[in-house]
């Protein structure tokens, strides 16, 4: 297969997120200490001395998607191909943070596309999922961002994305429904326009 080189663009919302100013770990840790103190904790006790710094570093890792660059992710891994059949990547694990409570969202994505003269390296699909999962999110937006980005990058005839996830903001607090999960889907191109193509995708992810 021959690599296809073309510029990749992201929408303005993604660009704004990627270039938002970032505070230092030290400054963020100072604020985190205030939060712990506000909870009534003694931030000077042995078990908490380094907790603010560790927590901030963990939070920065869990939101690393803001700093991920789409051009670097794809890295020209687009290849000419005469395959026009569905390409499906199932059960892509994802971890995100609810933007309302900053609590974990844990789930998986199923991503499919219909090639239109080119295919993308398989791992790049998983990295695109990570790019939008690893940030403060709501599942509806994340699903659409994954789908529209893959569509833009591959210029496919269609893209389908289904995300299934459990939200700790529902299981650990509030309504406390321990076994609830949320499913979101976005169908673009042929997956939206052709019921048979859409049903083929849905049948494959049920297996």
Q: Which of 101, 155, 164, 200 is catalytic?
A: 101
Degrees, nearest 5: CA angle 85-88-89: 155
Of the residues 98, 110, 137, 145, which is catalytic? 98
110 flagged as catalytic = no
Among residues 100, 140, 193, 199, which one is catalytic? 100
To the query of whether residue 137 is one of the catalytic residues in this protein, the response is: no
> 14, 110, 137, 167: which is the annotated catalytic residue?
167
Per the residue annotation, which of 99, 155, 164, 200 is the catalytic one? 99
In angstroms, the CA 56 to CA 65 distance is 15
179 is catalytic: no
Among 14, 110, 137, 139, which one carries the catalytic annotation? Answer: 139
Question: Could you tell me whether strands 104-114 and 182-189 are parallel, antiparallel, or unpaired per DSSP bridges?
Answer: unpaired
The alpha carbon of 14 is separated from its chain's Cα centroid by a whole number of angstroms, namely 12
Whether 19 sits among the annotated catalytic residues: the reply is no
Residues forming a β-bridge with 185 = 162
Helix/strand/coil percent split, the chain, to 5: 45, 25, 30
Question: Which residue from 69, 68, 161, 174 is spatially nearest to 113, judged by alpha carbons?
Answer: 161
* Marked catalytic residue, from 17, 41, 164, 169: 169
Coil, helix or strand at residue 75 = coil
**Judging by DSSP bridges, how do beta strands 104-114 and 118-120 pair with one another?**
unpaired
- Active-site amino acid positions: 98-101, 139, 167, 169
């Amino acid at each position: 297969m021959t690599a296809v080189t073309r510029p990749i663009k992201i929408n303005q919302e993604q660009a704004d997120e990627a270039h938002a100013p970032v505070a230092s770990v030290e400054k963020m840790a100072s604020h985190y200490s205030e939060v712990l103190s506000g909870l009534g904790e003694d931030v000077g006790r042995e078990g908490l001395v380094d907790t603010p710094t560790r927590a901030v570093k963990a939070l920065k890792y869990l939101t690393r998607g803001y700093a991920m660059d789409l051009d670097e992710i794809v890295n020209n891994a687009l290849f000419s191909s005469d395959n026009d059949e569905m390409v499906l990547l199932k059960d892509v694990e994802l971890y995100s943070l609810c933007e309302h409570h900053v609590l974990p969202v844990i789930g998986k994505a199923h991503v499919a596309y219909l090639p239109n003269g080119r295919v993308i390296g398989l791992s790049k699909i998983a990295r695109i999922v990570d790019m939008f999962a690893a940030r403060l999110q709501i599942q509806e937006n994340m699903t659409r961002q994954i789908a529209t980005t893959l569509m833009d990058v591959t210029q496919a005839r269609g893209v389908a994305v289904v995300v299934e996830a459990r939200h700790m903001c529902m299981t650990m607090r509030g309504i406390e429904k321990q076994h609830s999960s949320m499913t979101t889907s976005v169908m673009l191109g042929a997956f939206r326009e052709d019921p048979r193509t859409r049903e083929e995708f849905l049948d494959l992810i049920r297996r």
